Amino acid sequence: MSAAAGDLAKIADSINTTRAAVASHTTGIMAAAADEVSTAVAKLFSAHGLQYQSLSTQATAFHDRFVQAVAAGAGSYAGAEAAAASPLQSVLDAINSPFLAGTGRPLIGNGANGTAANPNGGDGGLLLGNGGTGYTQTTAGVAGGRGGNAGLLGNGGAGGGAGAGANGGSGGAGGMLYGSGGTGGAGGAATLLLGPGVGGAGGDAGLWGRGGAGGPGGAGLAGVAGTNTTTSQAAGGGNGTSASNAPGGAGNPGANGAAGTNQVGGTGGVGGSSNYIDDDSTATAGDGGAGGVGGTGAAGGAGGVGGAGGGGGAGGLLFGDGGAGGVGGVGGAGGAGAVGGAGGLGGTGGKGTAFNGAGIASGAEGGNGGSGGTGGVGGVGGTGGDGGVGGAGGRGGLFGSGGAAGNGGAGGAGGQGGGGGVGGAGGAGGNATAGVIGGTAHAFAGHGGNGGNGGNGGDGGNGGVGGAAGTPGAGLFGLGFSGSSGITGPVGTGGAGGGGGTGSTAVGGPGTFQNNGFDEFEGGVRQGSPSVGVSGSPGNPG
């Protein structure tokens, strides 16, 4: 009303300003000519303008009185409102004062909500009032605040949520005569040092009312990723056996890397040397052995189990249903599998040597380098954690049903499989030495080995098992009905398979020519062919 009075005053100011601006033009009109008719017309319009100004003055006075009346009414209304509120508050304060002094609770009024300094909600009035809400914590390991209790008539306050790894606050009790219990607070999620928190229990009702629902359990901790622990390279293969007047034997393949321990495959053995004496044929040395297969990557860790849901509050002793149990927490996701170990380096080709060659075909050829080892298989993704158990339903009253059991928590997702290991580099070609006495001694160096194939990716982890449903609440003395059964939590999804490893592009180097024959012809040198490694196959899906 005060604002309306101000607006009316502004309207009056605008009208007065306009009226004053046109007064000189409407009350003193000049005659158009000196004849009698023009003079009479000018006097008529001037008299009309004077009459308008007189009426406007009267209207302005009425408007001012109206504005004053509205403003006075606003003041009277505000005074009456303040006068009405002040005695009621004074009376309520006078009633609550002795109860606050004696019990710390008012007779009538709601309890205060929890704070960081005082997390528990305050209790409601002894006669009438709801309990305060518990404080939701943000610090790990600190439980949620408890909801305040109601008095004779009123509802219990809701429990506060917990910090990570702690239990949710319980709901406050409903009024002893009438009122429902408060809802329990949510449990905190798991951490590396603390397990998942249990949901807070729902508050009990009094004589007549529903029990509070239990709070949901905290989520389980995600599994850690698999970690390879490389200690040393696997033992290399043995050298090939040397031979005279015949090609040398191939080197033995290197040993496979041990899964999860020796992640790099062993180096292939050196090919056997070939020593040739007094013949026209070319002596060929043995090829180097293939590098060992890389070790399997470590499996990812399993996800943590979700926290249990809180139990529902009991229904009223006479009338009222029990509260529903809280939902179990979600299981943690499984950890990712580790990358498979790299394949071993291919063995060096054997050294070919010719002595006393006696013909144009005489000479020696170095052995080919061994192929790089295949990369190791990626680790299997970790299994998702199981969902938490649902909370038990609250007990029903004399003429009430038990609370529904809480649903089990959902299982965690499986971890992603690890990628396949990189293939090993190919071995260097063998060296060649031409004949030193006689002969044309054409010496050929060995070819470099092929790079190893990439390893297959690891399988994705299995999804976690859904949590079991809670126990339904029963009716009191068999007169009430039992609560409905909860639903088992859904199974978590399986993890994605890891990608296949990359084939090695590091090829073996060519062999070298070390010495020419010095009689009829000089021996030639052939460089090794650098072959590119074959890419690994993609990993199988989980």
Q: Specify whether the CB–CB gap between 314 and 395 falls below 8 A.
A: yes
State both tokens at 149. 């209790």
* CA neighbor of 230 nearest in space, from 332, 74, 341: 341
Rg value, the chain, Cα? 48
Task: State the DSSP H helix or E strand holding residue 24, giving kind and residue range, or none if neither.
Answer: helix 2-27
Signed CA dihedral, 188, 194, 196, 202: sign only: negative
Comparison of pLDDT for 495 and 315, the residue scoring more: 315
CA dist 209 → 384, 400, 506 (Å): 40, 9, 77
Q: pTM value?
A: 0.60
Question: Which residue(s) pair with 285 in the sheet?
Answer: none
Residue 262 — very low, low, confident or very high, per pLDDT cuts 50/70/90? very low
Task: State the DSSP H helix or E strand holding residue 41, giving kind and residue range, or none if neither.
Answer: helix 36-103
Whole-angstrom Cα distance, residue 242 to residue 159?
A: 83
Q: Specify whether the CB–CB gap between 298 and 262 falls below 8 A.
A: no
pLDDT digits (tens, 9 = 90+) for 368-402: 667 677 777 777 777 777 777 777 777 776 666 77
State both tokens at 17. 């300003």
Comparison of pLDDT for 247 and 60, the residue scoring more: 60
Residue 323 — very low, low, confident or very high, per pLDDT cuts 50/70/90? confident
pLDDT digits (tens, 9 = 90+) for 278-305: 544 555 666 667 777 777 777 767 777 7
pLDDT digits (tens, 9 = 90+) for 516-532: 444 433 334 333 344 44
Place of tokens 């004849």: 35
Whole-angstrom Cα distance, residue 428 to residue 298?
A: 31
What is the structure's pLDDT at 113? 96
What percent of the chain is modeled with pLDDT above 90? 12
What is the structure's pLDDT at 102? 87
Q: Specify whether the CB–CB gap between 235 and 244 falls below 8 A.
A: no
Whole-angstrom Cα distance, residue 378 to residue 231?
A: 18
State both tokens at 141. 């390991």
State both tokens at 439. 């002969």
Given a cut of 70, is residue 152 above it in pLDDT? Answer: yes
Given a cut of 70, is residue 93 above it in pLDDT? Answer: yes
- State the amino acid at position 134 in one-letter form: G
* Entry field: residues in the chain: 542
Whole-angstrom Cα distance, residue 513 to residue 363?
A: 11
Domains by residue range for the chain, with CATH: 2-95 (1.10.287.850), 270-292+342-382+407-542 (no CATH)
- DSSP per-residue string spanning 64-115: HHHHHHHHHHHHHHHHHHHHHHHHHHHHHHHHHHHHHHHHSS-SBSPPPPP-
Give Cβ neighbours of residue 369 (< 8 Å, ≥ 6 apart). Answer: 287, 288, 346, 347, 348, 349, 426, 427, 428, 429, 430, 446, 447, 448, 449, 508, 509, 511, 528
Q: Specify whether the CB–CB gap between 418 and 226 falls below 8 A.
A: yes
Question: CB count, 10 Å around CB of 103?
Answer: 11
